[in-house]
Amino acid sequence: MSAIDDLPPLREVIAAHGLSARKSLGQNFLLDLNLTAKIARSAGDLTGADVLEIGPGPGGLTRGLLAEGARRVVAVEKDDRCLPALAEIAAAYPGRLEILSGDALEIDVARDLTPPVKIVANLPYNVGTELLTRWLDPPDWPPFWQTLTLMFQREVAERITAGPGSKAYGRLSVLAAWRSDARIVMDLPPSAFTPPPKVRSAVVHLTPLPEPRFPANAKTLTRTVAAAFNQRRKMLRAALKRLAPDIEDRLIAAGIAPTARAEEVPLEAFCALARELDAH
């Protein structure tokens, strides 16, 4: 195995800084630097890009991103125990790594970044979907990021990339497909992590479309899709009845059978329904 940098192996870093993994912080670390460099490469060419990383932990992926040529990495970490280990990486890559200590759900980092911005992260499972939802629904479109390359539990990755008619199809699939291309680019077994999680993981790569695939108001579409999938076993005329008194008519006008269930409805029809709801 060739070294990607001159820093100590991650097992030594973890031992030296006492970084025993905490479940409450979703800590499953990647210790194979060849693997983290491969994940970094799956984000495309990083040279000339600012990379936002959430949850660098002991810094395995951070080192991969820097070794693969990221112009600058801005990394947000909640666990202060990791800061000394991350400071060592920053010293090895002068001026290229900035660590922000805190909760990624609370810190607004967009303004610290210079475009083009790529987001790459092995996400803590407890905040992953919330962060993705926010990145997919910013105030302006196109968003501040050029690509998202994110590790999730395999089941979540399938939900993000699923199409209608499958069990995995849901709110995340519709929101991702509306304004981005999303695909699974890597599959990882539990043994890739320390400690190994119970389930498989996968890396999802998303690129934003210049315009939404079909016109709709973001708020209305989000509200409609959330209501539809919150009661996914119900027929839409029942699941959506709070959205409009004449929901059956609105569904028919959008070309959706009132007896259909959310799982069967393609993105285009959800967008048509959102437009119908706004028009009345």
CA distance 171 to 188: 24
Of the residues 49, 86, 117, 122, which one makes contact with ligand SAM according to CB under 6 A: 122
Cα angle value 168/169/174 (rounded, 5°): 140
Q: Is 131 or 251 the residue whose CB approaches ligand SAM more closely?
A: 131
- Which residues 212-271 are close enough to bind ligand SAM by CB under 6 A? none
What string marks each residue from 189 to 218 as x (binds ligand SAM by CB under 6 A) or -?
------------------------------
- Closest CB 11 distance from ligand SAM, rounded Å: 12
**Is 13 within 8 Å of 58 (Cβ atoms)?**
yes
Q: Is 41 or 241 the residue whose CB approaches ligand SAM more closely?
A: 41
Question: How big is the chain, counted in residues?
Answer: 280
- Closest CB 64 distance from ligand SAM, rounded Å: 9
Q: Is 13 or 247 the residue whose CB approaches ligand SAM more closely?
A: 13
- Closest CB 88 distance from ligand SAM, rounded Å: 15
For residue 105, state whether it binds ligand SAM (rule: CB under 6 A): yes
CA distance 238 to 247: 9
Of the residues 33, 124, 182, 228, which one makes contact with ligand SAM according to CB under 6 A: 124
* Cβ count near 106 (within 10 Å): 8
Of the residues 7, 43, 50, 55, which one makes contact with ligand SAM according to CB under 6 A: 55
For residue 104, state whether it binds ligand SAM (rule: CB under 6 A): yes
Q: Is 25 or 136 the residue whose CB approaches ligand SAM more closely?
A: 25
CA distance 92 to 47: 18
For residue 25, state whether it binds ligand SAM (rule: CB under 6 A): yes
Where on the chain is the footprint of ligand SAM (CB under 6 A)? 25-30, 54-57, 60-61, 76-79, 82, 103-105, 122, 124, 127
